[in-house]
Homo-oligomer: A and B are copies of this chain.
Amino acid sequence: MTIVKGSKKTDMAKPKNAFYAQSGGVTAVINASACGVIETARRYKTKIGKVYAGRNGIIGALTEDLIDTSRESAAAIRALRHTPAGAFGSCRYKLKGLEENKAQYERLIAVFKAHNIGYFFYNGGGDSQDTAYKVSQIGERLGYPVVCVGVPKTVDNDLPITDCSPGFGSVAKYVAVSIREAAFDVASMAKTSTKIFVLEVMGRHAGWIAAAAGLAAEKASDAPHIILFPERVFDEKAFLARVDQSVKTHGYCAIVVSEGVKGPDGKFLAESGLKDAFGHAQLGGVAPVISQLIKDKLGYKYHWAVSDYLQRAARHIASKTDVEQAYALGKKAVELAVKGQNAVMPTIVRKSNRPYRWEVGVADLADVANVEKMMPDDYITDDGFGITRKCRAYLEPLIQGEDYPPYKNGLPSYVRLKNVAVKKKLNDDFSV
């Protein structure tokens, strides 16, 4: 028997490589999905060659700046599960329609072809699922089919079909823990000092995160006493009356406000009050605006906090449920891909609330792309300042369990990967 040696033969026998990229705002658990993708791909060696990651997301693919994850140890990849943010870098970069941006899609395919990439895992929100869907189409059209699988991720929880999105449960837990703790503090001080505490949370379009803070209130006297949602127009009079009532009843008032709250004029409250020394409007956060309003109209002493990135990076207090789901979806994405399922996204399917049971399902990317899931109207109480039982029943399971990272010297021990670059093959510039 003669063994035929030849690069062509070898190439054909080689399993296709995979490309994985993180997209948009990162979360406390997006790396847990990366961990699920990479660990699972390593178990399918006959079907998937190497996993290349895009440095800074899809930009890494466009500029042929790929990271060879096979250069990372099993321990390093395992540590991704407990490391927040995007280990390979993410980006805010949306590919537009196929016709407008044809050159970019063609470029993606060229890079995939050059690096023998046959799988595309895109870890992101609605825009990213749309991109993944388009890549699956253009691949076919250009005669280089790529199996495209989306991995859901968004702290905004606005992806459709999936019951929830990885990243959200951990932010939810962070804001609920934070308002509970801060409210214990304010309650202690209220007799002679601070009576008002305002916590600003993320959510420019949807109030999912603000709603989650409501989990801290197990009875009427508990904080938060007021939640301000972007889904409700800010009603100054009703709001101030409620603040005053809360102070008179409970001695203090703890408020959670979504950054996206708008006034009757349709403008963000955050933009309404502050001007810098030169008279320019300044986006100083909505918390100080709300606080100042209370001080001006009711005279109460206030404190306010803006968590900003702390809330979505807070891996130290991540929801165990969220971490498990993030990992499971990354794992499932690979399992779907090796079965040749194209243009799909694994989802969380809720089987029951109490006890909470979930399993992984599958959605078509065509159905996911560019659809936003808003908070149901009946999740907000009639007065507009709280969450309903129905909302609580939905949210509560998502913050269950703690998944503490390991600590070293008193601090969480998060991994930084080597992120070794793959040798370029195209050697041409492509500007993004």
Question: Which residues of A line the B interface, CB within 8 A?
Answer: 22, 25-26, 28, 56-57, 59, 83-87, 89-93, 173, 176-178, 180-182, 184-194, 197, 199, 215-216, 272-277, 282, 284-285, 287-288, 292, 303-310, 312-317, 319, 396, 399-402, 404, 407, 409-412, 414
Beyond contacts A181-B314, A216-B411: 6 other A-B pairs, Cβ-Cβ < 8 A, are A56-B191, A197-B309, A275-B277, A396-B410, A400-B409, A404-B404
Minimum C-beta distance from A154 to chain B (A): 14
Set of chain B residues within 8 Å of A309, measured between Cβ atoms: 181-182, 185-186, 194, 197, 303, 305
Pair A404/B407 contact, Cβ less than 8 Å: no
Contact of A188 among B89, B178, B189, B404 (CB under 8 A): B89
Set of chain B residues within 8 Å of A308, measured between Cβ atoms: 182, 303-305
Set of chain B residues within 8 Å of A85, measured between Cβ atoms: 181, 184-185, 187-188
Q: What are 19 residue pairs bridging A and B, where the CB atoms are less than 8 Å apart in the complex? A: A26-B189, A56-B191, A56-B192, A59-B192, A85-B181, A89-B187, A92-B193, A180-B412, A181-B310, A182-B313, A194-B309, A199-B310, A215-B409, A216-B411, A275-B276, A303-B308, A319-B410, A396-B410, A399-B411
Pair A173/B410 contact, Cβ less than 8 Å: yes
Residue of B whose beta carbon sits closest to that of A308: B305
Minimum C-beta distance from A94 to chain B (A): 11
Question: Roughly how many angstroms separate A180 CA and B316 CA in the complex, as a whole number?
Answer: 11
Set of chain B residues within 8 Å of A402, measured between Cβ atoms: 404, 407
Contact of A59 among B191, B197, B407 (CB under 8 A): B191
When A and B form their complex, which 10 residue pairs have the shortest distance between CB atoms, in order from nearest? A86-B188, A399-B410, A85-B184, A305-B308, A56-B191, A181-B313, A185-B313, A91-B192, A182-B309, A85-B188
Set of chain B residues within 8 Å of A181, measured between Cβ atoms: 28, 84-85, 309-310, 313-316, 412, 414
Contact of A274 among B26, B282, B400 (CB under 8 A): B282
Contact of A316 among B90, B177, B190 (CB under 8 A): B177
Set of chain B residues within 8 Å of A185, measured between Cβ atoms: 26, 84-85, 309, 312-313
Pair A26/B276 contact, Cβ less than 8 Å: no
Minimum C-beta distance from A400 to chain B (A): 5
Set of chain B residues within 8 Å of A396, measured between Cβ atoms: 409-410
Pair A177/B412 contact, Cβ less than 8 Å: yes
Known: A91-B193, A274-B276, A313-B185. A176 touches B399 (CB 8 A): no
Set of chain B residues within 8 Å of A317, measured between Cβ atoms: 316-317
Minimum C-beta distance from A162 to chain B (A): 20
